[in-house]
Amino acid sequence: MAETLFLERKMQYFESCNQPAIGNAKSALLEMGIFKKKGVYINLAPEYQKEEGEKKLLAVIEYVGQFRMKPTTQSMLEEVNPDSDLRRMIF
């Protein structure tokens, strides 16, 4: 995942995506209710899976993007292609 994010220029430094950072992000998304844990699996919460949920995901992406060091001059939402899968963006 880190290699893909780096190659797609979503991260400026390859080292930015490490196991503790991913674990902290996962915990935060679980705490925020965006992810739901069922047994050993983690899924996107049902309220984020429909059309209204995609609007909520866009709001979360914009909020998180305020704290992210951007490798480009674009904002997070400028990078979003309307035809792309928004669920992938949250990761």
Question: What are the tens digits of pLDDT across the range 23-33?
Answer: 888 899 999 99
Q: How many Å separate Cα 84 from the centre of its chain?
A: 13
What band does 45 get if pLDDT is binned at 50, 70 and 90?
very high
The β-bridge partners of 36 are: 43
pLDDT number for residue 64: 82
* Owner of token pair 């844990």: 37
Question: Alpha-carbon dihedral of residues 81, 5, 36, 52, nearest 10 degrees?
Answer: -10
pLDDT of residue 75: 54
Residue owning tokens 């209710």:
33
Which one has a higher pLDDT value, 59 or 90? 59
